[in-house]
Amino acid sequence: MRAKGARIDELPALWDGFARLVRPGLGLSAFGANVMNLPPDYATKSHDESESGQEELYVRLAGSGAVVLDEDGTELPLDSDCLAAVGPGVGRTLRSGPDGLRVLIIGAAPGKAYQAPEWSSTGE
């Protein structure tokens, strides 16, 4: 890949536009990347990345919210001054604030070549 740009809303979509697939949309292969569009006052299902071994970086693009850690309820804020990183074995939930949350999520497993999960390779 040399260079490519795209509007977020034109990237391949999943789940009725709830997620936008950055990696296939831009032709990336070294790491996974998705944009999630959470409605106001919403919480995702909890998940961890134990199976994939991925670390994940969360960067707020619009709105506000937090990454909530399952273990003790710690909230890692996502706003104009804060981003968050979570290791593979840590359960987490994304929670949006009153204006919703658009968040860029970047993931890769340390020391391993990136292997994209099947669900992240195409859109709806």
Cβ atoms of 58 and 36 closer than 8 Å: no
How high is the pLDDT of residue 77? 98
Q: Where are the domains of the chain?
A: 9-110
CA dist 92 and 90 (Å) reads 6
Element holding 22 (H helix, E strand): helix 22-26
Written as one letter, the residue type at 108 is A
How high is the pLDDT of residue 21? 95
How high is the pLDDT of residue 123? 67
Whether the per-residue pLDDT at 65 is higher than 80: the answer is yes
6-16: average pLDDT: 93
Dihedral sign of CA atoms 87, 90, 94, 95 in order: negative
The CATH number of 9-110, from 3.10.270.10, 2.60.420.10, 3.30.70.1230, 2.60.120.10, is: 2.60.120.10
CA dist 11 and 69 (Å) reads 29
Cβ atoms of 48 and 91 closer than 8 Å: yes
pLDDT band at 124 (very low <50, low <70, confident <90, very high): low
Q: Is the whole model's pTM more than 0.85, yes or no?
A: yes
Per-residue model confidence as pLDDT tens digits over 79-96: 999 999 999 999 999 999
Whether the per-residue pLDDT at 120 is higher than 80: the answer is no
Whether the per-residue pLDDT at 25 is higher than 90: the answer is yes
5-18: average pLDDT: 92
Whether the per-residue pLDDT at 64 is higher than 80: the answer is yes
